[in-house]
Amino acid sequence: MRPGVILRLAALAFLVAMLLSPQSFAPLFRPFTQNNAPPIYTQTSLLSLTLNHLMLVALAVGAATVVAVGLGILVTRPSGAEFRPLSRTITSIGQTFPPVAVLALAVPVMGFGNWPTLIALFLYGLLPIFENTLTALSNVPAAVNEAARGMGLTAAQRLLRVELPLAVPVILAGVRLSAVISLATATIGSTVAAKTLGEVIIAGLLSNNTAFVLQGGLIVGIMAILIYDGFQLLERVTARRTGASGR
């Protein structure tokens, strides 16, 4: 087994153990506390915060994927090509305005909690997925499309049976980037009362407890690495199945 695989399995085991039995790691974090402060964050369960954090990221990235891929398909069709500049403007909104600014604008309308965070993550995740979808669909070999047309496939059939399957690995790369960005960005949702791992980090900063900051950062960092690797594996599998790895 390769060293990289062993390290990732060890990271996964550490993450699971940390979430299921955080008090077992008290000796590890105690050196980072001061004045007999608690070494483990207990105000809210680390497991519940992690699950809610992942749920927010999954919902936001899922919605961003549907919208961004839909726009990418639209603007790569002859009938929708004129909307490409507008689509780029729409999907760039999240990158133009920092997530903190989006949260500040969303709170007066939606109140505190998960919804402002979902909106911020959704907007922030659109651009990488849209751009990758655009690139993938625009670079489908003309010969492949001509062969599909020669077989009598309709435009919809060519999209579903030829273009999208070939584009999936590149689209997944955009989803991977969006997911990792959203995973890290979701921590700021705790500033508007969303239940994310940012709660642990913020509590540590406010109380000058480095142990809390390390806990939140470690959990988010390990999940980001595992999610990144998971998507990379999925990209390689889909590329092999479609023959894209050989192009």
* Rounded Cα–Cα distance for residues 165 and 100 (Å): 36
* Rounded Cα–Cα distance for residues 24 and 46 (Å): 13
Q: What is the CATH number of the domain that holds 71?
A: 1.10.3720.10
Can you give the pTM of this predicted structure? 0.89
pLDDT digits (tens, 9 = 90+) for 17-51: 999 999 999 999 999 998 889 999 999 999 999 99
Confidence of residue 90 (pLDDT cuts 50, 70, 90): confident
Q: Is residue 220 part of a domain?
A: yes
Confidence of residue 114 (pLDDT cuts 50, 70, 90): confident
Q: Is residue 12 part of a domain?
A: no
Q: Is residue 3 part of a domain?
A: no
Q: Is residue 176 part of a domain?
A: yes
Q: Is residue 39 part of a domain?
A: no
Domain count of the chain?
1
Q: Is residue 36 part of a domain?
A: no
Confidence of residue 245 (pLDDT cuts 50, 70, 90): low
* Rounded Cα–Cα distance for residues 111 and 215 (Å): 28
Confidence of residue 240 (pLDDT cuts 50, 70, 90): confident
Q: Is residue 60 part of a domain?
A: yes
Q: Is residue 24 part of a domain?
A: no
Q: Print the domain residue range for 196.
A: 44-246
What pLDDT score does 247 carry? 43
C-alpha 22 chain-centroid distance = 25
